[in-house]
Amino acid sequence: MRPSGSREIRMSEFNIHCVDCTRLASHLAHVRERFNGYHGRPVAPFGDPLARLLIVGLAPGMHGANRSGRPFTGDYAGILLYQTLHKHGLASQAEAVSRDDGLELRDCRITNAVKCLPPENKPTTDEIRACNRYLQTELASLPKDALILALGGVAHKSVLQAFKLKQADFGFAHGVEHRLPNGFTLLDSYHCSRYNTQTRRLTPAMFDAVVARARELLTRQP
For residue range 61-95, list pLDDT tens digits in order: 999 999 999 999 999 999 999 999 999 999 999 99
Domain residues of the chain, as ranges? 22-220
Of 15, 23, 24, 77, give the one whose Cα is nearest residue 44.
15
CA 45 to chain centre: 8
Mean pLDDT of 167-191: 97
State what percent of residues in the chain have pLDDT above 90. 91
**What's the pLDDT band for 220 if we cut at 50, 70, 90?**
confident
For residue range 6-33, list pLDDT tens digits in order: 344 444 478 999 999 999 999 999 999 9
At the topology level of CATH, where does 22-220 sit? Uracil-DNA Glycosylase, subunit E (3.40.470)
For residue range 48-62, list pLDDT tens digits in order: 999 999 999 999 999
Amino acid making up residue 104:
E
For residue range 97-145, list pLDDT tens digits in order: 999 999 999 999 999 999 999 999 999 999 999 999 999 999 999 998 8
Sequential DSSP letters for the chain: -PPPS------TT--TT---SHHHHHHHHHHHHHSTT---S----EE-TT-SEEEEES---TTTHHHHSSTT-SSHHHHHHHHHHHHTTSBS-S---STTS---BSSEEEEESS-SPPGGG---HHHHHHHHHHHHHHHHTSPTT-EEEEESHHHHHHHHHHTT--GGGS---TT-EEE-TTS-EEEEE----HHHHHTTSS-HHHHHHHHHHHHHHHHH--
